Amino acid sequence: MRLHLLLPLVGPDFGAVGGSSQLRAIVGALLTYGLIISVLMVVTCGATLAISSSNGSWHAASKAKTGLFVALGGAALTGAALAWANWLLDVGAQL
């Protein structure tokens, strides 16, 4: 028998592992909570930065600016992780 005739028969059986819809729901819920917390941190750090800058507290403004950048990075990574996890689950179902 030729090799190219056997190749379509060789591959992983993704039907044997169930629960991808449940995994998608769990990952989506966890990442949604992470995104909500990141957005709340952006609001909190932004308000702290504005108040401390207007009052002349440079140390608090510096800490708030650092927190703002960390929160923005967390929000971006969380949003990207949700899209990446959905893409991986879709690719896994198509293999």
CB 92 within 8 A of CB 13: no
Q: What's residue 60's pLDDT?
A: 94
Question: What is the pTM for the complete model shown?
Answer: 0.64
Q: What's residue 37's pLDDT?
A: 92
Nearest to 18 by CA among 91, 82, 95, 93: 93
Torsion angle of C-alpha atoms 81, 83, 86, 90, degrees rounded to 10: -130
The token pair that represents 34 in the structure block: 């992470």
Indicate the pLDDT class of residue 2, thresholds 50, 70 and 90: low
- Residue-wise pLDDT for 3-49, tens only, equals 555 555 544 444 555 666 677 778 778 888 888 999 899 999 999 99
Local structure of 94: helix, strand or coil = helix
